[in-house]
A and B are shown apart, each in its own frame.
Chain A
């Protein structure tokens, strides 16, 4: 019984190593890429295929923002995008670029986007 528990504990440890929880993704590793601002509009580029990349983007708060979601031969769940805070939901074409407009007022705090089944997600952190 003890051996079984020990094995189970080890296996659970491996699980968290393989799939880091969200807080770990945010905290460690390389600094998150920042959004670029062109002519007063902030642009956030995210690729959707087998998940979202980059997973975390830092942007300036209070600026009208366009999220450009690019799909390329995307047939998995990441083509089905949901942003709960904006009540946004759309099934993207397998290949193309989808532009999501975010007003200056909406560009505050952290914006969380997910695929409709919830296993892939991305975050846009609006900072002052």
Chain B
């Protein structure tokens, strides 16, 4: 078990069994206390029976304490793979993709292409990094296709609606530079914590409750087991405000159209353009989470997310003038 979400999930699943009257999970001891009508079954038989219920969620129950397997061996492969992918990202930045945009007239087609370029450019460091960290974490904790799909629907729908609002009221919703720095730093910190958790090495981060608070987890977890759709949709809508130069340029353009329909459609096509890359990251994570080499994937993803978080943090510090910029792309 990794987080507060696991506590809720295991407790919920166990309580759903008719003959269980009480279930209490503990993150600290990695144990669950179950009370119920079991007849004269042995503890081992009960554990096996309850495991059958929890297995679809990726948990096993045993009477004995499990030995924790950190999987240090995975790093032998995870480190070079993560580094190679980061190099790939840097190469993309040097490829001069922005010079492909030669039209000053922003048609819907141009907005789509700008979206495509944005999704593999510098915005990948912050938006893509956040999507990767959230979806890998969600997949690790047993999130479903629905959670991920709702996120993307929220994002694309949010861009459509908020784009229309920007066009209509003629007041830009994009945030000032100071708010950008604050938001960028918060996102970088969230990525850092999720990245460290993905590595599954340092358990102190969980003890310090660095993970999402239980209240928040409750929504996300129950979003996947019950009829709760809100949390992933809201996170998707929230990406409208993420500091990304391309997003803000498009918002500025939507603003200049002064029209509800044009503003809405411009932002919609832009978001649609970013979809292939982001979908690859989120559904890819989900798919791999069920493969046998998932341990390697989570460690690789963790390393990449941590590197991107560090890059974002150093960039934010440079923007405030506290440190000199480390890199110039």
Task: Collect the chain A residues with CB atoms within 8 Å of residue B324's CB.
Answer: 22, 112
Distance from A94 Cβ to chain B, minimum over Cβ atoms (Å): 6
Contact B328 A22 (CB under 8 A): yes
Residue of A nearest to B177 (CB): A89
Task: Collect the chain A residues with CB atoms within 8 Å of residue B83's CB.
Answer: 8, 11-12, 15
B180-200 with Cβ < 8 A to chain A: 180-181, 184
Report if A30 contacts B (CB, 8 A): no
Distance from B87 Cβ to chain A, minimum over Cβ atoms (Å): 6
Contact B319 A114 (CB under 8 A): yes
Contact B319 A18 (CB under 8 A): no
CB 8 Å contact bits of B10-31 with A (1 = contact, 0 = none): 0000000000000000000000
* A-B interface pairs (CB < 8 A), number: 142
Interface size, chain A (Cβ < 8 Å):
44
Contact B319 A117 (CB under 8 A): yes
B88-125 with Cβ < 8 A to chain A: 90-91, 93-94, 96-99, 101-104, 106, 114, 118, 121-122, 125
Task: Collect the chain A residues with CB atoms within 8 Å of residue B176's CB.
Answer: 89
Contact B329 A19 (CB under 8 A): yes
Task: Collect the chain B residues with CB atoms within 8 Å of residue A12's CB.
Answer: 83
A19-B94, A79-B249 given; A8·B328 CB < 8 A: no
Contact A82 B96 (CB under 8 A): no
| Residue of A4, A18, A91 touching B76 (CB-CB under 8 A) | A4
Residue of B nearest to A78 (CB): B245
CB 8 Å contact bits of A74-94 with B (1 = contact, 0 = none): 111111101011000101011
Task: Collect the chain B residues with CB atoms within 8 Å of residue A109's CB.
Answer: none
Report if B325 contacts A (CB, 8 A): yes
Which of A37-45, A49-57, A61-69, A98-106 faces chain B?
A49-57
A50-B99, A117-B243 given; A84·B319 CB < 8 A: yes
